[in-house]
């Protein structure tokens, strides 16, 4: 059963701490997989598909025929939903696209910045017990809008050696270039190092289990990554005018993800908190993933009683949740006070599930309190910036002594002479 706390009743670390580090044995296992794939390439990938996915593969790449079969297998009504969701996502992220700039205000000086798409991007899409076409759309569409020339997906195959049809349908709709039947840490290794079939990439994005997260951590530096994602989180900030059944349903929308998921209610009213607790007990047994939701609620679920809504907002900012629902009558009045959250859902008619699938804003979000300093996945994650500078001879001569003075202040004589050498004989 979910626990009810008053602020200050328990130490902060019991409410606010969320550790996402990997144990030592997992780190060693992942390191061995990375080394195996780096050395043995496709042969290692085929062996891991047999070992972990029980799939006998002769090739890891999805063929055009498999794409065609997948599109034919997906219910037409769901294809329409995928296309509409893709348009919403595309429309939202299109506003994030930006170009470079050039400054010419100083005589003889040109400075500026170029915005350049990352050339090769790899997207990891979880598989196994569930398929996530939403991840395909959310992570692929911003990359395509950024102009990335090469975008590939890795995702685990089923025992039949096939990728979920809805994953392939979403990949086609999003404009993904190639899809590979590779899951787990071995997929991250293939993307980071490349194999005979899988191209190495410059950046890896997408969620995954603890092995995937640890693999991303270990290859960071060789390639860029989006983030080290922890378990799913939701914080619902609700007043007593809300429907307890609705609030409980929203909490469970994240609790069913993972036993380690975190569902938190912050409210100012104890009787309301107790009604939500009772609703959770009523609704959990009705869920297909009841065992997972039960473990999440019992282990990590919390109801925190704040003295007023201002205090509730302060608690939310301290926790810095992945998803924050402001279930109050005038949510826009409180939005300016929210500083730390991955994605905010405003009002009583905006469940977090809207953001997972359909509304348009990205669902790849910072977890574990990292919303204090990081952001949702966006077009910015798929570009890099390069700056440039041009000076005429007259413009450089006008400032060379200042550059030299600055360099000598830092004890770097060669820097100083480099600036002066164009105008003075000798070095």
Nearest to 212 by CA among 29, 30, 21: 30
Kind of pairing, strands 101-103 and 109-117? antiparallel
Which of these is catalytic: 214, 256, 322, 325? 322
* Distance separating alpha carbons of residues 262 and 322, to the nearest angstrom: 10
CA–CA separation, 206 and 209 (whole Å): 11
Pick from 257, 206, 212: nearest CA to 234: 257
What is the pairing mode between strands 224-225 and 203-205? parallel
* Token pair of 168 as six digits: 């392939």
Taking CA atoms, 165 is separated from 66, 67, 157, 206, 373, in Å, by 9, 8, 11, 19, 37
Give me the DSSP letters along 175-212. T-SEEEE--HHHHHHHHHH--SSSPP-SEEE----HHH
Catalytic option among 93, 257, 323, 363 = 323
**What SS3 state is found at 9?**
coil
- Give the residue from 257, 270, 379, 250 showing the smallest Cα distance to 324: 250
Catalytic (active site) residue 397: no
Q: Is 322 a catalytic residue?
A: yes
Smallest Cα–Cα separation from 187: which of 169, 166, 163?
A: 163
**Which residues are catalytically annotated?**
322-323
């Amino acid at each position: 059963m979910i626990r009810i706390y008053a602020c200050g009743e328990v130490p902060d670390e019991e409410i606010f701490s969320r550790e996402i580090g990997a144990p030592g044995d997992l780190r060693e296992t992942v390191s061995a997989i990375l080394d195996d794939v780096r050395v043995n390439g496709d042969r290692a990938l085929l062996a891991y598909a047999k070992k972990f996915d029980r799939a006998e593969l002769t090739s890891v790449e999805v063929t055009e025929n498999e794409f065609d079969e997948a599109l034919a297998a997906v219910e037409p009504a769901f294809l329409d939903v995928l296309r509409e969701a893709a348009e919403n996502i595309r429309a939202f992220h299109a506003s994030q696209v930006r170009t470079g700039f050039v400054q010419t205000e100083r005589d003889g000086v040109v400075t500026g910045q170029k915005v350049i798409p990352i050339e090769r991007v790899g997207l990891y899409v979880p598989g196994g017990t569930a398929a996530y076409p939403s991840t395909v759309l959310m992570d692929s569409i911003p990359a395509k809008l950024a102009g990335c020339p090469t975008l590939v997906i890795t995702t685990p195959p089923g025992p039949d050696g096939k990728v979920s049809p809805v994953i392939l349908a979403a990949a086609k709709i999003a404009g993904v270039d190639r899809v590979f039947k590779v899951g787990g840490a071995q997929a991250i290794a293939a993307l980071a190092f490349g194999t005979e079939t899988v191209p190495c990439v410059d950046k890896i994005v997408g969620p995954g289990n603890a092995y995937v997260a640890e693999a991303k951590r270990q290859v960071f530096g060789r390639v860029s990554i989006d983030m080290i994602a922890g378990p799913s989180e939701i914080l619902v900030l609700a007043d007593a005018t809300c429907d307890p059944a609705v609030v409980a349903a929203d909490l469970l929308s994240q609790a069913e993800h993972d036993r380690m998921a975190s569902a938190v209610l912050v409210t100012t009213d104890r009787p309301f908190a107790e009604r939500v607790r009772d609703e959770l007990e009523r609704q959990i047994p009705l869920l297909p993933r009841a065992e997972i939701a039960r473990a999440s609620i019992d282990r990590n679920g919390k109801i925190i009683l704040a003295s007023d809504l201002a205090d509730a907002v302060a608690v939310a900012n301290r926790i810095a949740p992945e998803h924050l629902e402001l279930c109050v009558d005038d949510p826009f009045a409180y939005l300016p006070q929210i500083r730390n959250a991955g994605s905010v859902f405003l009002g009583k008619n905006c469940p977090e599930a809207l953001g997972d699938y359909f509304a348009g804003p990205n669902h790849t979000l910072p977890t574990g309190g990292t919303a204090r300093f990081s952001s949702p996945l966006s077009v910015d994650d798929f570009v890099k910036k390069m700056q440039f500078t041009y000076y005429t001879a007259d413009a450089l001569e006008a400032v060379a002594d200042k550059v030299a003075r600055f360099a000598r202040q830092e004890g770097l004589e060669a820097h100083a002479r480099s600036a002066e050498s164009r105008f003075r004989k000798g070095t």
